[in-house]
């Protein structure tokens, strides 16, 4: 009997890695699509069986609860909706995450440099901080900051008086509330203009230094633009800023700006915990720079401080930035632990209270996941752009 033979065209297509790759990808997409469709169909059937409404119609329904810390107007009696509650939680999450990133970066760089200090005491203290903080769970640290540090503070009647009229007690830190009179807006504009001018001058000074080697007093100019300019506008406009100071009224304080202990505990916990990891990243980045770079800088007459600032750190940043991005993402996601100490972040307000009142579990959880995904992607994009600017350009 004659043997069947496979045509050369079919055999070449079957053994082509590119064609096989496309076939595997199409099969994988089909499998994933089927699994997603099955899960969605199952969820819809279960919701119908339990007579639970689906969709996003709850977004504009009135929210029957209040939130203590809010950056936008929100109240149950004022007709605020669940959509407003989402914005309140989102803004609180972004606030604590942004401040935590700033404080963790500053503290982490200081501790990372301290670990390489020639001073034995400073180096060992930095090592104890890093090893101690990194190996204690963040959840436990939040409990310590909130229950062991902030809750034992005195009650409002026995508040601790701080400079500039601030008061501290177990209900938070109360600061004077600035009130802008006529012309007060010009002070804010002066500050913003000074801040923008500082960035422009700093970029120009850096270009001049790279081209000519001449250094300009960036710090002094920044101080004049950011601090002195608004101060001059403040005096020129007749001092249009007054302050409302917190004062005791019954069993609580009235007036001023209240910074809640839940926010302080979460901010301190996130900052100190993440700073311990950033410190190790900074230490590794500095050690990755060849010692010959420091020796060459010393041979040119640079002291240790300028050598670290102008030679070592700029080169170490190429190693520091990628893992630093990961720590920023972890800090933002770890902010969801705020629910355990009652800070009204996105998870506590939206995934907690709103979900319990509406029963829209699928929609609420999906929105929350999408928000954290978006924040992470935007953070990664910004850090990748910065990393590309700091990358070594090969000739």
pLDDT along the chain (395 residues), means of 10: 52 69 88 90 77 77 87 84 92 95 95 92 94 94 93 89 88 88 86 92 88 84 89 87 84 86 94 96 91 83 82 87 93 93 92 88 90 94 88 58
d(CA 45, CA 54): 11
pLDDT of residue 249: 81
- 62 has which bridge partners? 81
User: Which two structure tokens, joined as six digits, stand for 227?
Assistant: 């601090």
Parallel, antiparallel, or unpaired: how do β-strands 247-249 and 241-244 relate? Answer: unpaired
pLDDT of residue 11: 54
72 in Cβ contact with 62 (< 8 Å): no
* Region of residue 31 (left: phi > 0; alpha: psi -120 to 50; beta: else): alpha
pLDDT of residue 14: 63
Q: Which residues contact 152 (CB under 8 A, 6 or more apart)?
A: 170
Residue 122 host element (H or E): helix 120-134
Supply the Cα-derived Rg of the chain in whole angstroms: 28
pLDDT of residue 304: 82
d(CA 120, CA 126): 10
**Percent of residues in the chain assigned helix, strand, coil, to nearest 5:** 70, 5, 25
pLDDT of residue 159: 87
92 in Cβ contact with 373 (< 8 Å): no
pTM of structure? 0.84
Within 224-334, residue ranges assigned H as helices are 229-236, 261-288, 291-299, 304-307, 313-334
Return the axis-axis angle of helices 184-212 and 229-236, rounded to nearest 10°. 150
d(CA 284, CA 253): 48
d(CA 290, CA 318): 13
d(CA 60, CA 84): 9
d(CA 158, CA 164): 18
d(CA 151, CA 169): 9
């Amino acid at each position: 009997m004659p043997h069947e033979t496979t045509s050369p065209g079919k055999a070449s297509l079957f053994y082509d890695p590119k064609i096989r790759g496309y076939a595997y990808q199409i099969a994988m997409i089909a499998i994933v699509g089927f699994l997603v469709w099955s899960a969605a169909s199952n969820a819809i059937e279960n919701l119908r069986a339990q007579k639970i409404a689906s969709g996003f119609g709850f977004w504009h329904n009135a929210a029957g609860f209040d939130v203590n810390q809010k950056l936008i107007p929100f109240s149950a009696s004022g007709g605020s909706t669940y959509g407003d509650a989402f914005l309140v939680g989102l803004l609180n999450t972004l606030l604590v995450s942004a401040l935590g990133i700033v404080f963790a970066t500053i503290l982490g760089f200081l501790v990372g440099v301290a670990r390489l200090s020639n001073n034995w005491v400073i180096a060992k203290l930095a090592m104890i901080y890093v090893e101690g903080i990194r190996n204690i769970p963040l959840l436990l640290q939040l409990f310590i900051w909130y229950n062991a540090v902030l809750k034992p503070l005195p009650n409002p009647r026995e508040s601790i008086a701080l400079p500039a009229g601030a008061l501290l007690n177990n209900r938070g830190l109360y600061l004077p509330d600035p009130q802008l009179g006529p012309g007060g807006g010009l002070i804010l504009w002066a500050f913003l203009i000074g801040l923008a001018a500082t960035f422009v001058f700093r970029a120009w000074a850096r270009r001049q230094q790279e081209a000519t080697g001449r250094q300009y007093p960036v710090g002094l100019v920044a101080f004049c633009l950011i601090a002195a300019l608004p101060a001059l506008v403040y005096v020129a406009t007749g001092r249009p800023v007054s302050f409302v100071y917190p004062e005791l009224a019954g069993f609580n304080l009235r007036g001023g700006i209240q910074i809640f202990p839940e926010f302080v505990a979460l901010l301190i916990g996130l900052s100190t915990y993440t700073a311990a990891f950033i410190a190790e990243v900074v230490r590794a980045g500095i050690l990755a720079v060849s010692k010959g770079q420091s020796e060459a800088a010393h041979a040119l007459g640079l002291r240790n401080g300028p050598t670290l600032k102008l030679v070592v750190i700029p080169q170490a940043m190429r190693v520091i930035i990628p893992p630093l991005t990961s720590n920023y993402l972890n800090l933002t996601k770890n902010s969801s632990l705020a629910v355990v100490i009652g800070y009204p972040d996105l998870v506590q307000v939206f995934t907690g209270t709103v979900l319990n009142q509406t029963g829209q579990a699928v929609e609420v959880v999906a929105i929350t996941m999408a928000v954290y995904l978006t924040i992470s992607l935007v953070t990664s994009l910004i850090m990748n752009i910065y990393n590309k600017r700091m990358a070594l350009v090969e000739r």
